[in-house]
Amino acid sequence: MMIWLLAALAGALAAGVQYGRRALTARTLPVALLRAIAAMLIVALLFRAPAGSAATLAPDVALDASESWTRATDSSAWHAARDSAARSGGALRRFGDSLRVGTAKDAPTDHASRLRGVVDAATGSGRPVILVTDGELDEPELLAGLPRGSRTIVVAKKELSDAAVAALDAPHALLAGDTVQASVTVVAGAAGSGAGRLDLRLDNAVLDSAVVAALAPYAERVIVLHGVAAGAERGAVLRAVLHVAGDQEPRNDTLSLGVDVTRAPAAVFVSTAPDYDAREAVAALRGVTSLPTRAFYRVAPGMWRTDGTLARVEESVVREAVRDAPIAVLHGDTAVFGQPRAASRGALLLFAPPLAEDGEWFASAAPVSPLAPMLAGVAFDSLPPLSVSAALPRAEWQGLVTRRGGSADDRRAAVVGWETPRRIAIIGASGFWRWRFRRGVRADAYSALFGALYDWLAAGRTDRRAVVPDVEPLRAGMPVRWRRGAPADSVATATIERREGTAQRRTLSVRFSEGSAVAETPALPPGIYEVTTSGGNAVLAVNQSREFIPRRPTVTSSAVGGEAAVGDVPAVTDWAWVYALVVLLLCAEWLLRRRVGLR
C-alpha cells in the first residue's frame, strides 16, 4: 500500500503545482481532481503498484535423486537431504533422469541431474518449487525460469579423497603395429587426491603408464599416453585405469572405449610427387580424422616408401591399400593406378596440382557447399597466393573460389566435389603449405579448409557393418549413438550381449531418419557389450554415469526464479483498462479546463 500512498501524494502535488490555491475553489476543484487522479495512476503504473491481495500457496518440493550423493562420501548428506525435503512440505517429487512422484526413502540412483522437467512442470502449474540438491545440477541457468518464491536448498557433502578419469580421447579404429595416442583427463574431488599411476590398456595388455602427481581440490590434468596396438583384427576395449592409494571411489577410476583393431588403414594418402603440400596434408589428415592413416610416397618410378620409417614397399601393396581404404587421398599423378574413381571404393580426394604455373591466384570466396560453415570466418584477403589448374570438372558444389591477382572478374574454382554416388573431392591447386607455414590467421585458414574437407570425407566413409557404435566414450544414462554403415537401409538390426554377469541378449532396431547417418537407442546399464550385426561385430563399452565425476557445485542455497507465480499479487500494469482510464481522465480535464475558461 506504500506505493499507492506515494502515488496519491504525487497526484495531489501535481494538482497543486498546476492549479495552486484555485484547486480548492468550487469552479476549479473538479478539474484539479481529474489531474490528481490521472497523475496518481501514472505513478502507480510506473512503479507497478499492487492491484489486489496475494494468495499463499504451498510450494512443491523437488529432491535431487542423482548418484552424485553416493560419490566418495557416506550416506549422511543424503539422509539430511531427505529430512530437509520432508520438512519443506508440499508435494514431493524426485528429479534427475526425469521428474516423477517418489518417496524420499528410495536410494539416489539417477544417472543425471536434469532440471528441464522441474522447470517445465513449475512453469505449467505456476507454483513455486523448493529444490533440495547437493549443488551439482545440469543447466543451472534454467533456475531463472522458475516461478517467483522458488528457492534452492544445498546440502553440503563431506567428500573423501577421490580422483577420477573424466575423459578419454583416442581413435576408434587402431591400426595393428602402429602407435596409439590417447589423451586422458584426470580430475580430483572436493578433498583433492594423492599421487598415483595411470595405465592405458588394450584389453588385458598395458600399452603405457604415467605417474600422476597429487591433485588439489577440483584440479584437472591432461596426460598423453602412447602405445603400440598388437594382435589380430578384433573388437577390443581401450581403457584408461587410474591407481591412487587412498582413493575412496573406485567406480570412477576406469574409463573404457570400444575400438576396432584392424590390419588395414582407415585412411590412405598416396603421393607421386612428395612436396610441402603433401607433407602438411598428411599431418592434417591424421590430426583431423584420428583414423589409422598410412602414407606412401613414390620417390622414383616403381619405387615406393612408407611415411615415417621410409621402408620400401611394393606397388601392389600400395594399390591394394588404396582400393580397400574407406578414405583415400591421391596426390600428384592421380591416375597412377588407372582411372582414379575405379582405384578406390571409399571416399576419395584427388589432390591434383597444376602442371604449369599460370600466375598468382588468391582465395576469394567459399560458395554454398559442405565446406562453407567452416570457411565462413576465413579472412581471404590475408592469404598467400596459390597456383590453380586452368579448369576443373563441373561438380555438384564448389568449395573454394580463387581470383587472379589484380582482377576481380577472372575466377577459377580450386576445390570441387560430389556427394553421390559416393563422396569425391578434387583440389586443383598447390601452394597451400604457405598458409600453414605463416601461422596466425593463415594457419587457421589452412586448418579450416582441410579440416572441413577431411571431416566431410570421413562422414562419408563406408563400413562393412550395417551399424556401428559412435566413437565417443559412452556413460550410463546417455542414449546409445549409432552410425550408419555400408547398407543404405533406414532400419538396421543389432544384437547386443553383455560380457560379464548374466549373458542376456537383446535385439535393437536402429532407425535412421531420412538423410541422417546417426541414430539413437535407449541408454544401457554399465558394462561391456558384444554387438553383432550384418557385416561384422563391434564392442560397445558403457561406463559409470557422469554423476561419479567430481565437479564444483553449480548452485548455492538461495532464492531463485523470476517468472510470475499463481497467487502473486496482481500489478496495476496487468490491467489494460487503467491505461485507457488515464487517457480519458486527461482528456476530460482538458475539456473542463476550456469550459471554465482556463488555458
Predicted local confidence at residue 408, as pLDDT: 63
* CATH class given for the domain over 267-459: alpha beta
Specify the 3-state DSSP secondary structure of 559: strand
Pairing mode, strands 527-533 and 100-101: unpaired
**166-185 per-position pLDDT tens digit:** 999 988 888 888 788 899 99
What is the reported pLDDT for 211?
97
Q: Looking at residue 570, what is its pLDDT?
A: 67
Same fold, 163-248 and 267-459: no
Q: What is the pLDDT of residue 410?
A: 81
Query: Could you state, in order of their start, the residue ranges of all structural domains in the chain?
Result: 2-53+570-595, 60-158+554-560, 163-248, 267-459, 467-543
Q: How is residue 156 annotated by DSSP?
A: P
Q: Output the pLDDT for position 99.
A: 93
Amino acid at 87: R
Distance CA 288, CA 268 (A): 14
Residues 453 and 414 sit within 8 Å (Cβ to Cβ): no
Three-state secondary structure string covering 79-93:
HHHHHHHHHCCCCEE
Cα separation, 581 vs 570, whole angstroms: 18
pTM: predicted TM-score of the whole model, two decimal places: 0.71
The list of the chain residues with pLDDT below 70 reads: 1, 52-56, 104, 290, 406-409, 460-462, 486-488, 501-503, 515, 564-570, 599
Kindly tell me the burial class for residue 214, based on how many C-beta atoms sit within 10 Å of its own C-beta (0-12, 13-18, 19 or more).
Answer: middle
Q: How many residues are there in the chain?
A: 599
Residues 472-528 pLDDT 10s: 899 999 999 998 776 667 888 999 999 876 667 899 999 988 767 789 999 999 999
Grid coordinates representing 1? 500500500
CATH of 467-543 among 2.30.29, 2.60.40, 2.40.50, 3.40.50: 2.60.40
| Model pLDDT, residue 187 | 97
How far is the C-alpha of 351 from the C-alpha of 595, rounded, in Å?
A: 91
Question: Which amino acid, residue 325?
Answer: A
Closest listed residue to residue 165, CA positions, set 578, 543, 572, 561: 543
Q: Which amino acid is at 251?
A: R
| Alpha carbon of residue 282 to chain centroid | 27
Angle of helix 2-19 relative to helix 29-46, nearest 10 degrees, comes to 140
In whole angstroms, give the CA distance from residue 572 to residue 569: 10
Q: Are 544 and 476 in contact (CB under 8 A)?
A: yes
Distance CA 563, CA 148 (A): 6
At position 454, the amino acid (one-letter code) is Y
Q: Say whether domain 163-248 belongs to CATH 3.30.360.10.
A: no
Dihedrals φ, ψ of 327, to 5°?
Answer: -130, 130
